[in-house]
A and B are shown apart, each in its own frame.
Chain A
Amino acid sequence: MASAANMNAVRETMDVLLEISRLLNTGLDMESLSICVRLCEQGINPEALSSVIKELRKAADTLKASENSAS
């Protein structure tokens, strides 16, 4: 019961966070958001994480662009 209530709370929290994320237009989906939340809970530096995410996105874009131009 306790775990069920806990799960409930977690889900609710995640919903709220997802909503905020949407409001802020962060571009994170549920999956990546949950990963990020978990990383944050582990005590990661959010600033570093955000820069890594941006970096990765950018790298992905570049890759896509190069693929497009290649094909």
Chain B
Amino acid sequence: MTLLFYVACSIVTLNCVSAEVAHQFQYAVRVIGSNYAPTIERDEFLVSEKIKKEFLKQRREADAALFSELHRKLQTQGVLKHRWSILYLLLSLCEDPRKPSRGASYGALFAQALPRDAHSTPFYCARPQSLSLSHPERSGLAQNPNSMGTSGVSSLGMYSLNGTTTAPQFLLAGHQTAGESFRQPLGSRLAWNLPPTASHFSAPTSRGPLLPITPSARAALRQRRDVDSHAEIGEGALIRDILYVFQGIDGNFIKMCSQANCYTIDEKVPLSRSLRDTSNRLAELGWLHNKVRKYTDAWSLDRAFGLVGQSFCASLHQELKEYYRLLSVLHTQLQVEDEQGVNLGAESNLTLRRLLVWTYDPKVRLKTLAALVDYCQGRKGGELATSVHAYGKTGDPYMRALVQHILGLVSHPILNFLYRWIYDGELEDTYHEFFVASDPTVKTDRLWHDKYTLRKSMIPSFITMDQANKVLLIGKSINFLHQVCHDRTPPGKMPVPASKSTDSPRDAVELFTDLEGAFQGKIDAAYFDTSKYLLDVLNRNYLLLEHLQAMKRYLLLGQGDFIRHLMDLLKPELARPATTLYQHNLTGILETAVRATNAQFDSPEILKRLDVRLLEVSPGDTGWDVFSLDYHVDGPIATVFTRECMSHYLRVFNFLWRAKRMEYTLTDIWKGQMCNAKLLKNMPELSGVLHQCHILASEMVHFIHQMQYYITFEVLECSWDELWNKVQHAQDLDHIIAAHEVFLNTIITRCLLDNNNRSLLNQLRAIFDQIIEFQNAQDSLYRSGLEELQLRLQFEETKRERQEEGEWGVTAAQEAEESRHVQKFQETIPKMRSQLRILTHFYQGIVQQFLVLLMTSSDESLQFLSFRLDFNEHYKARDPRLRASLGASRGRRSSNM
């Protein structure tokens, strides 16, 4: 055989120097001698078919017929044992006759073939030539048979590519990485072993000895590799392993290393570094897959994980399914290769490098998924959607699309919750995933305030706080209508938008991405309609505004004639000790007062709610201290007039009632003064005391008038106007409630009822007490004065009667007694005077103290009140503290400015 070969060599290299022949022979022997398994199928039929195809390509149909005739003849003879072999040889050596002479074309041919062959070497990447050369070849695959038929091996590979591959992506990949199965190891070897020759790739014709970088050299190297592979693992085995690892199953060589938490190849397995490297890189995919898989396995069966979590798992599953599809395609490819023999169509074989390219995209996907899984660990519901949404904020459109898709699936349940909630008011959130939470223990009377709350953590980041609040409000309104107002208006009458729910997850994505537009619009529309309807129902059926006005009229003493009359009627009752009061008596009086005044024209709905209430009695209280009006609220309006609100009203009413009583008392005092002034005129010894009384009374009247003015106009009416405006323009019930609360708080603060003004209020109470005391003092003064007057009148009367009877007017004894009596009375006058003086002193002291406190108050209106109370600086002139504090307050104000 060797001899034969030598002959062959010498024949081919005819006319050559024998040394050269020997050299070539050595080389040829090395190539042939390596026990190299053929890469082609040992099928005569296939080879003959290929030959026919070759003829057809060259448009030699007649020759094709001739060949099949000859082939048939050959088959009948049966001399040859390896018919396919010789046929294959001939096919390999086949030349297109239309080509120019063989000798001239060789150099060009190999130069053309080379760049493609060495494509995978790193040195070649930068060569523009490789691009320009490989392109026409690729594109001319079908149309240009001339270039195809030139280089035997590579063209054969191309045919097999066309003939046997099925999956289009393989075809595509096969184009790009044509012939990589051999070239990959070759390339790396070239890179390591032959770096100097690399520079000669571009000039294959320069010198003889450098020629080995040609297909035959490749073959030689390839064979050497297979010799080596007795020790190493074959690439095929490795690929098989890798495919298992992709599914998270340990392979023969590549195993999960629990310490490092990654797939590693056993160190002892003999393997070249490049292969080891590549497989390590590929094995990462398995790790990522495991991670995602573990998450879905752990959660998809956990029902408590909730719908959002389930749909997240489902979307992960979907992605994994795609991935499995790819794996199954790869498996099929591997199987086909196994069945057809290892080296059919070298161009379409599975190789590690090819896998690396094909799994690039799935790897990116899996990486994203794994990151998502990591990030979403332990989250559920809206929180989960938030995390997914956070991952969608990336510049990579591919990743964004993926995350967007998952987000669509994940947010779909949330969106369903949302639509159920804002259109039907139903909350079917078994796993507490939605951002509206309901507290089932709350009764209907607190439904508006306490039953529904926002779960802040569950608000997905793509829904703003404002929107979440609106959503909460919409559903709350609907529930309020249903449960509290018992308004079961059918949905047709209720303003419900036409599109009720989303049909597909895609809608969800569109809604959530287009936040400014449709979604916002939908929420706004629902919000507007529902709130408006609710307010309508409250105003129309439950007379909310009328009740509000009634509160002001009765509890805040707005209905003057009624209050005055009530006080008139109640006065004798209330003057008694509180323990002797009976509610039914007072209720009767209240009704009388209502019937006698303009209050009777109010609607019965309001009047029937008006009631008397007695506060807790403490010892020593009079009726004045415990009496108060009450207004019953229930049903829907109790949502606005809550228990706290009513207690505020009660406090304000008590304060106002007290102030009113002072006014009433002072009126009484004044009346007494006016009536008695004439009677007591002829008791000159009393005039000093009376004058004192008048002065003090007018001081008090001034004070109370200013207080009343302040309370009525600066506090009540101003706040009321504000409230009324707000209520008229309120968009939802919350606005009304808020406005009402503001109103009450303002009143409480301005009426000195809050904690900051406690000292002021105490002073005011003391002033009120002084007024009462003054009334008592003056009453006793008048009583004794009138008694005295009566006695004197009686004395005069008897004197006159006696004189008419003709007796002595007075006896000496009577005279003496009378004068003693007058003396005694006159002695009581200084006592009264001093008592009055003490009272005045006390009163003025308290008022001054009150003014000082008003001055130092931070509220502007209170400061103005102090100016009004002391308009002529009467108190200021008397009290140095007031002067000082005035100056101080002025200084403070100027420094503030």
Residues of A within 8 A of B (CB): 6, 9-10, 12-13, 16-17, 19-21, 23-28, 31-32, 35-64, 66
Closest-by-CB residue of B relative to A23 is: B63
Shortest distance in angstroms between B10's beta carbon and chain A's nearest beta carbon? 10
Bound: A21/B86 CA distance, A: 10
Shortest distance in angstroms between A45's beta carbon and chain B's nearest beta carbon? 5
Shortest distance in angstroms between A50's beta carbon and chain B's nearest beta carbon? 3
A-B contact count (CB 8 A): 186
Check if A64 sits within 8 Å of B15, measured CB to CB.
yes
Confirm or deny: B437 has a beta carbon within 8 angstroms of a beta carbon on chain A: no
Check if A55 sits within 8 Å of B14, measured CB to CB.
no
Bound: A42/B4 CA distance, A: 11
Check if A24 sits within 8 Å of B90, measured CB to CB.
yes
Closest-by-CB residue of A relative to B5 is: A39
Confirm or deny: B257 has a beta carbon within 8 angstroms of a beta carbon on chain A: no
Check if B153 sits within 8 Å of A31, measured CB to CB.
no
Bound: A46/B153 CA distance, A: 11
Confirm or deny: B74 has a beta carbon within 8 angstroms of a beta carbon on chain A: yes
Check if A49 sits within 8 Å of B12, measured CB to CB.
no
How would you classify the secondary structure of chain B's contact residues: helix, strand, loop or mixed?
helix
Contact with A along B55-99 (1 / 0, CB 8 A): 100001001001100110110011111100111111111111100
Check if A52 sits within 8 Å of B94, measured CB to CB.
no
Q: Which residues of A contact B95 (CB under 8 A)?
A: 24-27
Check if A39 sits within 8 Å of B8, measured CB to CB.
yes
Q: Which residues of B contact A27 (CB under 8 A)?
A: 93, 95, 102
Check if B93 sits within 8 Å of A26, measured CB to CB.
yes
Number of interface residues of B (CB under 8 A): 69
Q: Which residues of B contact A49 (CB under 8 A)?
A: 32, 89
Check if A54 sits within 8 Å of B215, measured CB to CB.
yes
Shortest distance in angstroms between A44's beta carbon and chain B's nearest beta carbon? 6
Report which of A9, A38, A43 forms a contact with B77, defined as CB distance below 8 A.
A9
Confirm or deny: B835 has a beta carbon within 8 angstroms of a beta carbon on chain A: no
Bound: A51/B70 CA distance, A: 25
Check if A51 sits within 8 Å of B94, measured CB to CB.
no
- Interface window among B36-44, B529-537, B566-574, B798-806: B36-44
Check if B94 sits within 8 Å of A25, measured CB to CB.
yes
Check if B93 sits within 8 Å of A60, measured CB to CB.
no
Check if A60 sits within 8 Å of B74, measured CB to CB.
no
- 19 contacts across the A-B interface (CB closer than 8 A): A9-B77, A12-B73, A23-B63, A26-B94, A27-B95, A35-B7, A36-B8, A39-B1, A39-B5, A40-B82, A41-B80, A44-B85, A45-B37, A46-B89, A52-B216, A55-B216, A57-B106, A58-B110, A58-B214
Taking each of B4, B37, B93, B94, which has the highest tally of chain A beta carbons within 10 Å of its own beta carbon?
B93
Q: Which residues of A contact B71 (CB under 8 A)?
A: 20
Check if B92 sits within 8 Å of A20, measured CB to CB.
no
Bound: A5/B486 CA distance, A: 115
Check if A44 sits within 8 Å of B216, measured CB to CB.
no
Report which of B4, B37, B153 forms a contact with A39, defined as CB distance below 8 A.
B4
Check if B11 sits within 8 Å of A31, measured CB to CB.
yes
Known contacts A25-B96, A39-B4, A58-B110: A32-B11 contact under CB 8 Å: yes
Q: Which residues of B contact A58 (CB under 8 A)?
A: 106-107, 110, 211, 214
Bound: A16/B73 CA distance, A: 8
- Which are the 8 A-B pairs with shortest beta-carbon distances? A50-B92, A26-B93, A55-B216, A46-B89, A40-B85, A24-B94, A51-B216, A46-B88
Check if B67 sits within 8 Å of A20, measured CB to CB.
yes
Closest-by-CB residue of A relative to B13 is: A60
Check if A53 sits within 8 Å of B12, measured CB to CB.
yes
Check if A57 sits within 8 Å of B12, measured CB to CB.
yes
Known contacts A35-B8, A46-B38, A52-B28: A20-B70 contact under CB 8 Å: yes
Known contacts A40-B86, A54-B152: A63-B13 contact under CB 8 Å: yes
Bound: A31/B211 CA distance, A: 27
Taking each of A35, A55, A64, A66, which has the highest tally of chain B beta carbons within 10 Å of its own beta carbon?
A55
Shortest distance in angstroms between B22's beta carbon and chain A's nearest beta carbon? 12
Known contacts A32-B8, A47-B40, A54-B215: A24-B54 contact under CB 8 Å: yes
Q: Which residues of A contact B36 (CB under 8 A)?
A: 45, 48
Bound: A46/B94 CA distance, A: 13
Closest-by-CB residue of B relative to A6 is: B79
Shortest distance in angstroms between B800's beta carbon and chain A's nearest beta carbon? 167
Confirm or deny: B208 has a beta carbon within 8 angstroms of a beta carbon on chain A: yes
Q: Which residues of B contact A17 (CB under 8 A)?
A: 74, 86, 90
Check if A50 sits within 8 Å of B208, measured CB to CB.
no
Known contacts A13-B77, A46-B86: A55-B106 contact under CB 8 Å: no
Within 8 A of A (CB), among B566-599: none
Shortest distance in angstroms between B353's beta carbon and chain A's nearest beta carbon? 23
Q: Which residues of A contact B759 (CB under 8 A)?
A: none
Taking each of A6, A10, A20, A43, which has the highest tally of chain B beta carbons within 10 Å of its own beta carbon?
A20
Q: Which residues of B contact A10 (CB under 8 A)?
A: 79
Bound: A65/B4 CA distance, A: 27
Check if B11 sits within 8 Å of A35, measured CB to CB.
yes
Closest-by-CB residue of A relative to B4 is: A35
Shortest distance in angstroms between B14's beta carbon and chain A's nearest beta carbon? 7
Closest-by-CB residue of A relative to B20 is: A63
Within 8 A of A (CB), among B191-238: 205, 208, 211, 214-216, 219, 223
Shortest distance in angstroms between B80's beta carbon and chain A's nearest beta carbon? 6
Shortest distance in angstroms between B208's beta carbon and chain A's nearest beta carbon? 6
Confirm or deny: B315 has a beta carbon within 8 angstroms of a beta carbon on chain A: no
Shortest distance in angstroms between A55's beta carbon and chain B's nearest beta carbon? 4
